[in-house]
Structures are given as structure tokens and as C-alpha cells.
Amino acid sequence: MIFLDNAGTTKMFKECVETYSHFACEEFYNPSAVSRQSAFVHEKLEGVRKLILKKLGATEGTVIFTGGATESNNLAIKGAVRNGNFEYIFSNGEHPSVFNVAKNLELNGKKIIFCKLDKTGKIDLADLESKLNQNVRLISCMLVSNETGAINDIKQISALREKYSPKALLHVDAVQGFMKIPFSVENLKIDMLTFSAHKFHGPKGVGGLYVRKLSYIKNIVDGGGQEYGLRSGTENVAGIMAMATAIEKIDVKKNFEYVSKLKSLFNEKLTGIEGIDILDFHGSPYIEVLVFHGVKGETMLHALAEKGVIVGLGSACSAKKAGNRILQEIGINKDNIISSCRISFNAYMTEREIEEATNIIAEVYKDIKERVS
């Protein structure tokens, strides 16, 4: 099986399973309890916080462990909303775990402003600039699009925020960027950042929210006051430790270069095949979109799966819903959207697998085309 849906999720590293097992069955203590054993586990979690801060290039702030990116995004946004006549800005390209939170806040009477994406899939900076003002209290935008791989110009967004909306916090959903593309929260002046372990070979249901200052947000669930009172509930120690194992194993720069090579090879092999178009947004090397003219993306997906190649159909979280909000926003025509599949790589695949996948894709497409015409 060749898995090309790594933006949806990734296979967990064996080493993470070992760590998980150790902290689930051996050192399984509650980090908030008072025994020496618990204190040890508590220290381990503090170590993971430090490790993540280092990887993020953060010189201040902390990490709140959560049950994944959906929860982190909810916490960052709902936690930052205040009473008063303030404005909150989101992009039209956001994942449903941001976009639907924004929509619900709007239904509840908050002033929510959405800004456009340009043709390259990035946030339209002129549109953003026109919407910024002194009343804005939050700008939430993703680093890398899970649909297209486009990378937003966070540095420029930060600069615009500083100029027009100095009281606004900048929250970045970096699920498709953390441990995949090099960046630093310090350079980009990010106040809050979301990440999720299962996108970089860690376990599902574990992630976190980086916050430069704890005072930026209020808790959204009440309970025992764990995680600085911002995320009550006993921490998923085994999951967090397994996530740390994945973080320690990954060399972001090396993987970035290798995946760039894989993507070039993949595109080279598919270039020139009649009826197949590559929508490469020249952002993250990990993600791109293929258009299979005359065939539904869903038909291709199932036919490829029969031959052992797994591709995606846009965001897995919203794949069952009709249409693709993001591709539509970028101006891709409806027929192309219906005929599209998302391809997403990981850094542990071989060039041989890539070549094999392209051969199967070409064959399967030719086969279906012949049958439908």
C-alpha cells in the first residue's frame, strides 16, 4: 500500500508506540498527584513543553496540551473572545475547526470578518489590510493550507497587524506546518499556535496550543484546573510522551528537502499525461492537488485504493460534504474541483514508491477514461 494522504493523517512511528506503551503501562502515574512517581511524570511533561518551545523557536510563552488541533483551535478562538464591540478576523481558507467556530461566534452576535484568498491560495493581503482596524482583537489564519499546501505570508500578516490592529492577537493553525516546514514563532511574531501529533507520525487525539502569554485566553471547559487552568482534565501522558518521541526523531530541514525531491519526481512522472493536471500551489512540498479531467475525484480515489494507492479528497474532516469551499474560493472551476484529488506525501516514503504510485495513477486513469468514453 502506498499512502498519499498524509495531510489527513500519518502512520505512527514504531518508537512512538514503544514510548506510549511505557507511559501507559509502566510509568502510568497521574502527573497532578503528589507521589514521587507522579512528580517524575510531571517533570517529563514539563520537559516536553520545553522541547516544543525550542522547536517553535519561542523565547517566551508555554504550551497547553490538548486533545488535538480541533480542540486547540476552539480554545485559542473561543478563549480569546471578549465581551464588547470587538472584531475578529479569519480567512476563507481555514480548516472547519477554525471556520465553523468563527461561523458559530457570528451566529452568537460577534462581529466576524472573513478575508479572501487570492488565486495562489494564500490570504489576499490587500483584502486583509482593508479589513484591519483598531477594534480587531484576533486574527486567526493557517500557516499551510491542508487543501492546497499554499503557505500564508505570516510575516506580512504580522506586520499588517502591528500597523493597523496592534491590540489583535495573531493565532496560527500550524497543523500542516509544524515539524514539516521550518519557521519560528519569534520571527513571525505569532501569539498562539496550534499543532497536532498525528500529522507528524505521533498519536491521534494529542496536540497543543502554544501561547505567548497565558492571559490571552480564558478556559472553555471547567474542571480540576490542569494545564494552567486552561485545559482541565488529566493529561494524556502516554500520548504526549509519544508525540515528543516523534518530535525528537524528525529532522525538519532534512525531511523538507527530501519531500521536495519526492514531489518533483512525482510531478515529473505525471507531467505530459493527457487529462491529468497538477495544481501545485508552490507552497509546502508535502501537499498538492491533481485534476483528472473527465473523471470524478471520488471515482479515482476508490479505483486507486483498489490498486493499493491511497489519496485524499480534500480535508478528511469535510470530505463527506459536497464541494470544496477552499478550491472554490481560489477560483478553481466546478468541473475541476469534482475531478480533483489531494495528494500528500511523507518523508519516509521511497522514490520507488513514488514512481510506482505515478504508474498506477496513470494506468488507473487511462483505464477509467477508456471505459467512460
Active site residues: 317
Q: Which amino acid is at 124?
A: D
Q: Nearer to ligand PMP by C-beta: 206 or 364?
A: 206
Task: Provide the minimum distance between the beta carbon of 346 and ligand PMP in the complex, in angstroms, as a whole number.
Answer: 14
Contact pattern for ligand PMP over residues 157 through 176, marking x by CB under 6 A: ----------------x-xx
DSSP 285: T
Please report how close the Cβ of residue 316 comes to ligand PMP at its closest, in angstroms: 6
**Joined grid coordinates for residue 291:** 485534476
Shortest Cβ 107–ligand PMP spacing (Å): 21
Using the rule CB under 6 A, is 313 a contact of ligand PMP?
A: no
Establish if 196 lies at the interface with ligand PMP (CB under 6 A): yes
Q: Which stretch binds ligand PMP (CB under 6 A): 16-24, 64-72, 226-234, 356-364?
A: 64-72
Is residue 275 left, alpha or beta, with left meaning phi > 0 and alpha meaning psi from -120 to 50? left
Closer to ligand PMP by CB, 62 or 146: give it.
Answer: 146
> How far apart, in whole angstroms, are the C-alpha atoms of residue 88 and residue 65?
24
Contact between residue 235 and residue 66 where contact means Cβ atoms under 8 Å apart: no
CB of 234 to ligand PMP, least distance (A): 19
Read off the C-alpha cell for 326: 477552499
Distance CA 284, CA 282 (A): 7
* Bridge partner residues of 309 (DSSP): 2
| Cβ closest to ligand PMP, residue 62 vs residue 318 | 318
- For ligand PMP, the binding residues in 222-241 under the rule CB under 6 A are none
- State the DSSP string of 43-111: HHHHHHHHHHHHHHT-SS-EEEEESSHHHHHHHHHHHH--SSS-EEEEETT--HHHHHHHHHHHHTT-E
Binding span for ligand PMP by CB under 6 A among 37-45, 162-170, 247-255, 315-323: 315-323
Residue with smaller CB distance to ligand PMP, 94 or 191: 94
The single residue listed with the C-alpha cell 469551499 is 325
Residues within window 331-370 making contact with ligand PMP, judged by CB under 6 A: none
Size of residue set near ligand PMP by CB under 6 A: 15
User: Of 65-84, which residues contact ligand PMP (CB under 6 A)?
Assistant: 68-70
**CA–CA separation, 217 vs 82, rounded Å?**
9
Comparing CB distances to ligand PMP, the nearer of 29 and 88 is 88
Give the shortest CB-181-to-ligand PMP separation in angstroms: 13
Answer for which of 97, 284, 339, 344 binds ligand PMP (CB under 6 A) is 97
Q: Mask of contacts with ligand PMP, 113-152, x by CB under 6 A?
A: -----------------------------x---x------
Residue-wise over 41-58: b if at least 16 C-beta within 10 A, else e?
Answer: bbebbeebbeebbebbeb
Residue 130 grid coordinates: 482593508
Neighbours of 277 (CB within 10 A): 16
The DSSP annotation for 186-224 comes to HHHT-SEEEEEGGGGTS-TT-EEEEES-GGG---SS-SS
Residue 286 CB, nearest distance to ligand PMP (Å)?
A: 11
Give the footprint of ligand PMP on this chain (CB under 6 A).
Answer: 68-70, 95, 97, 142, 146, 173, 175-176, 196, 207, 315-317
